[in-house]
Amino acid sequence: MSELAHSPLILAISSRALFDLDASHEVYEQQGLAAYQQYQISHEDKPLAPGEAFPLVNKLLALNTKLGGERRVEVILLSRNSADTGLRVFNSIQHHGLDISRAAFCGGESPYRYINAFGSHLFLSTHADDVRNALQNGVAAATLVSNQSNTNDDETLRFAFDGDAVLFSDEAERIYKQEGLDAFAASERAAAHEPLSGGPFKAFLAALQHLQAAFPIDRSPIRTALVTARSAPAHERVIRTLRAWNIRLDESIFLGGLEKGEFLRSFRADVFFDDQEIHCQSASSHVATGHVPHGIANE
């Protein structure tokens, strides 16, 4: 426990998630790889603007400063660029003052194979296939959905999670999808004292809670929330599952099918993770959102 608590929380992130590379990607799509390479080299001294995940990364890295410089958070850059074209990305990291020193530039190939080697707890990308491969290799991962929401300038870092197929397995959701709401409710009542199996984000939530433990509980700069479509009586199994895992969430919101967006905005989430694309699209108009392509909803 003590060894885990002092291990850094490691976020692996793609260059397109960290910075706005839309203009560069358009060159690649319209003119090809050689033109893209030349474009990046000719613009390597022009800093890239922040991308979807930049505010989240900035807040995460700021936690090290709050802990007196102790390196409890590390961010790894994983990129399909080559080191040559990736120089602009590293120059942009320096320009924005981000404490990121480790990277893998994969020259057009998928970088997901380095996720476990770096010991990553979470991988964020705009490339859905890389995210799926990361999940299959046992790492929490999400595809960032473009959003037009305002950046949350609150210093507190706020993570929000869906339950089934994200924090928990999709075992209960399968019953709902295949047999309907009444069967789901009956099954959850019958299994109320049986903890759910862990989903792809269980280990990340545990690592995040160990990071939270470095701060006084009443002054923590990190808050977590479960935002789920479940309602009573299906809430009981969720509560007992988290208790069995010895994992604490700061807030739990059981919506009974209501739209999640307004509640996520009220929570002021820096990022929300959900397995269903329809929920992600709705949430992304309010907060930065990551689609977790896992479970029956994505088969």
Residues 21 and 79 in one domain: yes
- 201 domain-assigned: yes
Each residue's pLDDT tens digit, 138-161? 999 999 997 655 566 788 999 999
Asked if 215 and 240 sit in the same domain, the reply is yes
Q: Are 121 and 226 members of one domain?
A: no
Answer whether residue 152 is part of any domain: no
Residue 148 belongs to some domain of the structure: no
Domain end (from 92, 112, 143): 143
pLDDT at 5: 47
Same domain, 227 and 114: no
Which residues are part of the catalytic machinery? Answer: 162
List, in sequence order, every beta strand (DSSP E) within the chain.
Answer: 9-14, 73-79, 102-105, 122-125, 140-145, 157-161, 222-228, 251-254, 271-274, 289-291
Whether 206 and 289 share a structural domain:
yes
Q: Are residues 54 and 18 in the same domain?
A: yes
Q: Verify that 126 and 194 share a domain, yes or no.
A: no
In this structure, the answer to whether residues 128 and 166 fall within a common structural domain is no
Give every CB contact of residue 181 below 8 A, 6+ residues apart in sequence. none
Angstrom CA distances, 22 to 36, 50, 137, 241, 291, stand at 12, 11, 28, 42, 20
In contact, 57 and 89? CB cutoff 8 Å:
no
In a domain, 109, yes or no: yes
Tokens of 221: 């700069």
The tens place of each residue's pLDDT in the chain, 299 residues long, gives 344 446 899 999 999 999 998 888 898 889 988 898 899 999 999 999 999 999 999 999 999 999 988 899 999 999 988 888 889 999 999 999 999 999 999 988 889 899 999 999 999 999 999 999 999 999 999 999 976 555 667 889 999 999 999 999 999 989 988 998 889 888 988 989 999 999 999 999 999 999 999 999 888 999 999 999 888 888 999 999 999 999 989 999 999 889 999 999 999 999 999 999 999 988 999 999 999 999 999 98
Residue 126 lies in a domain: yes
pTM of the model: 0.92
Boundary (domain end) residue, out of 116, 143, 170: 143
Answer for the pair 142, 132: CB distance below 8 angstroms, yes or no: no
Domain boundary among 119, 143, 167: 143
Q: Which domain holds residue 274?
A: 157-298
Q: Please check whether residue 19 lies inside any domain of the structure.
A: yes
pLDDT at 2: 41
Q: Does residue 150 belong to any structural domain of this protein?
A: no
Residue 117 and residue 175 share a domain: no
pLDDT at 233: 81
pLDDT at 108: 84
Regarding whether 62 and 30 lie in a shared domain, the answer is yes
- Give yes or no: residues 41 and 85 share one domain: yes
CATH number of the domain where residue 289 is located:
3.40.50.1000
Is 151 contained in some domain?
Answer: no
pLDDT tens for 173-217 read 899 889 988 898 889 889 899 999 999 999 999 999 999 999 998
Count: domains in the chain: 2
What confidence tens digit (pLDDT) does each residue in 277-294 have? 999 988 999 999 999 999
* CB-count burial class (<10 Å; 0-12, 13-18, 19+) for 103: buried
Do both 133 and 163 map to the same domain? no
